[in-house]
Amino acid sequence: MRVAVSVSTCIIAMTMTVPVTTFADQAVRGKALYTEHCQVCHQPDGRGAQGVAPPLQNTVGRYVDQPSGREYLVSVPLTGMTGMVEMEGMRFLGRMPSFAGLADEDIAAVLRYVLAQFNGISDADWLTPQWVAQMRSRGGSPGLTYALRAKLAKGLR
């Protein structure tokens, strides 16, 4: 009897310490990461800062419908990007830093937040930490990410 109680206690204790990630947890984590790492340039509302950082609001969601667009969305925070970006009649010449130091889970969470909060896209089942890890393993550079963006821009017009 004593062994059964000990085993039950261990199982309950193990279950209580295993983190369960819910969509609500991811949203809270994504918002916190955005606030910490992105907001200073892209602003709290995702509208960007003129001449400094392009808007994320109602702009990046257009990439989710195509595989190369999804690759681009994940590559931006992983590799950063350098080059001229023109959006909504404004030009942005700068360098977005890489956030490759963030965990795959964090990259996925912040991107899900940006897509949901600023682009109205809550269905991003493709955006998993595993997929981010796969993209990370491919490597890349700010210049390659910029080239992918330019290629996508031609196809979206």
Structure confidence at residue 46 (pLDDT): 96
Q: Which of 148, 22, 129 has the alpha carbon at shortest distance from 80? A: 148
Asked if 147 and 72 touch (Cβ cutoff 8 Å), the reply is: no
Q: Which of 111, 87, 91 has the alpha carbon at shortest distance from 99? A: 111
Amino acid at 114: V
Amino acid at 135: M
- Give ∠ CA 157-74-77 in degrees, rounded to 5: 105
Structure confidence at residue 21 (pLDDT): 56
Structure confidence at residue 22 (pLDDT): 65
- Give the Cα separation of 98 and 89 in Å (integer): 26
Q: Report the predicted TM-score, pTM, of the whole model to 2 decimal places.
A: 0.82
Structure confidence at residue 90 (pLDDT): 85
Q: Report DSSP state, residue 29.
A: H
Structure confidence at residue 73 (pLDDT): 97
- Give the Cα separation of 1 and 134 in Å (integer): 48
Structure confidence at residue 138 (pLDDT): 95
- Give the Cα separation of 18 and 28 in Å (integer): 19
Burial environment of residue 153 by CB neighbours within 10 A (0 to 12, 13 to 18, 19 or more): middle
Positions in the chain whose pLDDT score sits under 50: 1-20
Q: Which of 77, 81, 125, 142 has the alpha carbon at shortest distance from 104? A: 77
Structure confidence at residue 70 (pLDDT): 97
